[in-house]
Amino acid sequence: MKRILIIDDEPNARLNFRMALELEGYEVSEAPSGAAACEALLGELFDLAILDLRMPGMDGLTVLEQMREEGMATPVIIVTAYGSVPDAVRAMKLGAIDFLEKPLRPDDLRRLVAEVVERHRADYRERTEREDFATHLRAAKRQVNLQNFTLAEKHLQRALEFEPRSADALNLLGVLAELGGDYRNARKYYGRAIRVRHDHEAAQQNMRRLFELNVFGATEEPLNLGD
């Protein structure tokens, strides 16, 4: 039985998450604060943590930073308020690429939990004989969770050979480029993701952040996002 830790300061949210996941056979524990979460994670093993971003005291990304500093590789799903996805680079640096926005639907929660748990099964192997888009994208996400960014990039590039117009893969490549300080390629990948899907919120937020940071300098020409 897979064990999941729900980290959220709102009792109703924890209850809703618990009810949705216990119906699927998961063993669920709760932590009402960041400090309680760190204590639980140090004392027990979990297959997945569902982490609210905004909590009083220690916020979600701070909890995640402490987890990684302690050497915990537990995969994490971050829960955010609508439209408040955090700095993707900081999150990805900590191995977090899976987000759910509040208010969330139980079906979305169950779907993403199942996907992440399957991605990290103990007997999971990267099966190179299965050369398809889904296999390489799943492998890339797993390597990001494990903070193996070079291998993640290789899988994303292979995924794009099968589906060159995957906005999700393009956006993830953009974040990896930004993580390495390659802002020009980051902008290129975000722009391609937006051209493919004009409503891709993550790519739009990432692009806006780059321009707000003015990483290109005052003389840089704006990117043409048209076809």
Query: For residue 227, what pLDDT band results from cuts at 50, 70 and 90?
Result: very low
The CA-based angle 180-59-54, given to 5 degrees, is 105
d(CA 219, CA 212): 14
Same domain, 17 and 110: yes
Q: pLDDT (tens digit, 9 = 90+) per residue, 124-151?
A: 555 545 789 999 999 999 999 999 999 9
Mean of the per-residue pLDDT values for the chain? Answer: 87
pTM here is 0.83
Q: Which residue has the higher pLDDT, 3 or 59?
A: 3
Q: In this structure, which long-range contacts are made by residues 148-154, counting pairs with CB atoms below 8 Å and at least 24 apart in sequence?
A: 149/176, 149/179, 149/180, 152/176
CATH code of the domain containing 144: 1.25.40.10
Q: Which residue has the higher pLDDT, 88 or 143?
A: 143
Percent over 90 (pLDDT), the chain: 67
Q: Determine the pLDDT at residue 1.
A: 86
- Domain housing 207: 133-213
The SS3 of residue 130 is coil
Same domain, 45 and 68: yes
Does some domain include residue 223?
A: no
Q: Determine the pLDDT at residue 65.
A: 94
**Peptide bond before residue 103 is cis, with ω within 30 degrees of 0:** yes
Q: Which residue has the higher pLDDT, 145 or 83?
A: 145
Q: Is the pLDDT of residue 221 over 70?
A: no
Q: What stretch of H or E contains 51?
A: strand 48-52
Q: Is the pLDDT of residue 219 over 60?
A: no
Q: Which residue has the higher pLDDT, 61 or 222?
A: 61
Q: Determine the pLDDT at residue 167.
A: 97
Q: Determine the pLDDT at residue 85.
A: 66
Same domain, 89 and 23: yes
Q: Is 3 exposed, middle or buried (0-12, 13-18, 19+ CB in 10 A)?
A: middle
Percent over 70 (pLDDT), the chain: 88
Q: Which residue has the higher pLDDT, 117 or 213?
A: 117
> Last residue of a domain, which of 119, 148, 183?
119
**What is the rounded end-to-end Cα distance, in angstroms, of the chain?**
48
Q: Is the pLDDT of residue 92 over 50?
A: yes
CATH code of the domain containing 102: 3.40.50.2300
Does some domain include residue 14?
A: yes
Q: Which amino acid is at 23?
A: L
Max Cα–Cα distance, the chain, nearest Å:
56
d(CA 176, CA 153): 7
Same domain, 115 and 179: no
Q: pLDDT (tens digit, 9 = 90+) per residue, 160-214?
A: 999 999 999 999 999 999 999 999 999 999 999 999 999 998 899 889 888 887 7
Residue for token pair 């099964």: 121
d(CA 143, CA 150): 9
**How far from 102 is each of 24, 80, 81, 89, 148, CA to CA, in Å?**
21, 6, 5, 21, 29
Q: Determine the pLDDT at residue 91.
A: 85
Query: For residue 155, what pLDDT band results from cuts at 50, 70 and 90?
Result: very high
Q: How many distinct structural domains can be found in the chain?
A: 2
> Region 70-88: what's the mean pLDDT?
81
Q: Which of 26, 29, 31, 38 is nearest to 8 (CA)?
A: 31
